[in-house]
Amino acid sequence: MEAMEAPTPPPGAGSSGGHWQDEHVRFESAGHLYFWRGNLILRPSVSSVYKKYFVMFDNRKKVEAEYGYWKQNKENKYRPLIAYCLQVLGKDDKFAQEAILSLWESDGKIAADAGSYMHDQFDNWWLGKAVDPIPELTIFEKWFHAFNKHAEWELYATEKILVKMHPKVDELVVWAGSSDLILKHRVKADTYALIDYKRIRQPQLGAEPFEQFSKGKDAKGTGPFTRVDNNKTGYYTIQLNMYAFTLYHDYGIDCRNNLYLLQFYGHTPVNQVKVPYLAAEMESLFAIEAADTLREFAKSPSDF
């Protein structure tokens, strides 16, 4: 599609909340790398941190477990690919399994690229730049005008890179991440909203069962997250909470009572999920991660 001229800018468009850390932190999307004062941050990103506490979906185990059924069931969507590998290419079952995994990997990359492109268009809209009129942007504009029907909110920052510092060692990074959108209330002092965009067709965030990824004892997380469901809503809830924790303690921005997940896909109406702030879980998580960071720093300070 051809880019169109930017629509009427929303309140606060073109502005961005500044902080002394901003000029020292950098993010490279290729490789998902964060840098602090020009040096690669070796501590994990926000998404890498919470994954340690859940039994995550395993593509290979899933294929190995279901392959026999897929191969025999002519109605299964993977049956044509399996038949092509075995009958036309003359390959074995192992090759067909790898082909399914490669297909999933390719589908994942296409979805990730589409999600990144959607994020870019939303950012351009906020910053008053030309945009590509993808369906999700139209849905997003409608959502914001409804969300802001009383003109209470304005842009504070879009795509803000965040670093959580260790409380006892100057400029020692515990984790890093990038928030999608921070809005500032125009009337209530020190009131902000933190919003995260997701481009997901299925499942419906806030309603999907944990059985999609795990069952039984793995239905919840471990460590600080024994109350959090092992599904995408659970993961994204933690992600938003980690951003909110960082913003409050390191940036003086309090959005803990206004945390929103927005789910988009094509022309489908936006699915808004307001998530709770998990105060006890965040304090526990940070204590664990800060202690781990300090131990690693003590072993090899030059790596930091």
Write down the pLDDT at residue 9: 47
Q: Is residue 79 one of the residues assigned to a domain? A: no
Total domains, the chain: 1
Determine the Cα–Cα distance for residues 252 and 246; give it in Å rounded to an integer: 9
Q: Is residue 95 one of the residues assigned to a domain? A: no
Number of Cβ atoms within 10 Å of the Cβ of 225: 22
Write down the pLDDT at residue 6: 42
Write down the pLDDT at residue 4: 45
Write down the pLDDT at residue 7: 43
Q: Is residue 242 one of the residues assigned to a domain? A: yes
Write down the pLDDT at residue 274: 95
Strand partners, 273: 261
Residues of the chain with pLDDT under 50: 1-9, 13-15, 211-213
Q: Is residue 249 one of the residues assigned to a domain? A: yes
Domain assignment of residue 293, given as a range: 22-56+115-303
Write down the pLDDT at residue 292: 87
Determine the Cα–Cα distance for residues 116 and 132; give it in Å rounded to an integer: 13
Determine the Cα–Cα distance for residues 133 and 1; give it in Å rounded to an integer: 8
> Tell me: the pLDDT tens digits for 232-254?
999 999 999 999 999 999 889 99
Q: Is residue 11 one of the residues assigned to a domain? A: no
> Tell me: the pLDDT tens digits for 259-299?
999 999 999 999 999 999 999 999 999 999 999 888 877 77
Determine the Cα–Cα distance for residues 141 and 147; give it in Å rounded to an integer: 10
Write down the pLDDT at residue 282: 96
Q: Is residue 281 one of the residues assigned to a domain? A: yes
Number of Cβ atoms within 10 Å of the Cβ of 282: 20
Whether residue 118 contacts residue 197, with contact meaning beta carbons closer than 8 Å, is answered with yes
* Secondary structure, 3-state, the chain: CCCECCCCCCCCCCCCCCCCCHHHEEEECCCCEEEECCEECCCCEHHHHHHCCCCCCCHHHHHHHHHHHHHHCCCCCCHHHHHHHHHHCCCCHHHHHHHHHHHHHHHHHHHHHHHHHHHHHHHHHHCCCCECCCHHHHHHHHHHHHHCCCCCEEEEEEEEEEEEECCCCCCCEEEEEEEEEEEEECCCCCCEEEEEEEECCCCCCCCCCHHHCCCHHHCECCHHHCCCECCHHHHHHHHHHHHHHHHHHHHCCCCCCCEEEEEEECCEEEEEEECCCCHHHHHHHHHHHHHHHHHHHHHCHHHC
Write down the pLDDT at residue 114: 96
Q: At what angle do helices 135-147 and 93-126 cross, to 10 degrees?
A: 50
Whether residue 220 contacts residue 228, with contact meaning beta carbons closer than 8 Å, is answered with yes
Q: Is residue 275 one of the residues assigned to a domain? A: yes
Write down the pLDDT at residue 267: 95
Whether residue 124 contacts residue 6, with contact meaning beta carbons closer than 8 Å, is answered with yes
Q: Is residue 140 one of the residues assigned to a domain? A: yes
Determine the Cα–Cα distance for residues 181 and 263; give it in Å rounded to an integer: 14
